[in-house]
Structure 1
Amino acid sequence: MPSPTPRLPRPSAQDAPHSGLRPAQTAALAACADALLILLFAAIGRDAHQRGEIITGVFATAWPFLVGAALAWLVLRLWHDPLRVWPAGVAVWLGTVGVGMILRALTGQTVVLPFIIVALLSLAVFLLGYRLVVAGVRRLRSRRRQA
């Protein structure tokens, strides 16, 4: 009779990264960071094209992307681990761009290939970038604790 496979210990609360924040706080901060970075993307784009109406214009440009990010958060329940690059970061990034472009097209806003490419690249840097930084910091902290 073969011997049973040994059970691995389950991670405990002590194994979790120590950020000092509760999960709900982490999710709220990540959602706010996503929204602010999407607004920054819209503001940079409007500034690059020298468009007027600074505040209302930024929101007019950003709202389809904000809806896309919100849908990704809700449909995929990303609040469970919002700072992971995969799947949370990739889901927010692709949801933001995909839904954002669909909503722009449905509302008569510009959707051309160069803009899609710029949005994909810019929002990847923003939405995946800070999550990569968080992952790196977590790895460093973990290594220091083990040493």
Structure 2
Amino acid sequence: MPDPEIRLRKMLEALRENKYRITPQRLAILSVLAESKGHPSVEAVYERVKRDFPTTSLATIYKNVSVLKDLGQVLELGFSDDSNRYDGNKPYDHPHVVCTACRKILDPDISALADMTEELTRQTGFSIVRHRLDFFGICPDCQAGQ
């Protein structure tokens, strides 16, 4: 996982370069996303931020996450049940392993992904610009509880 302090600085830099003010609430949102290991939903970010800023609205969280997404500082993972999750640590395309029981999301390190992309380009003639590779299963914690 990338260093949360480095990610926080990069997110702040992107906001400043695009003339966004750095408010205490915005800084709290960035911190949650930079430190998160679990690909939180907007609602989860909201629950964490409102502990310190109880007047912050859910709409404020949505707006800020959307800005960060547009600036390429968070990766949005959309799922068919409309439960979008966000990755502030690795805001670029990478594979995920998703537990279908508890919804935990992990970032496996798959070295063969670059080879797979090259092979797809060769076989199809496509110029691959983005990818999404998700694996679904039951995590060890949920398996132990069954």
Do they superpose with TM above 0.5? Answer: no
> TM-score normalized by structure 2?
0.37
Q: Which of the pair has more CA radius of gyration? A: 1
Greater helix share, structure number: 1
> TM-score normalized by structure 1?
0.37
Greater strand share, structure number: 2
For CA contacts below 8 A with separation 6 or more, give which structure has more relative contact order. Answer: 1
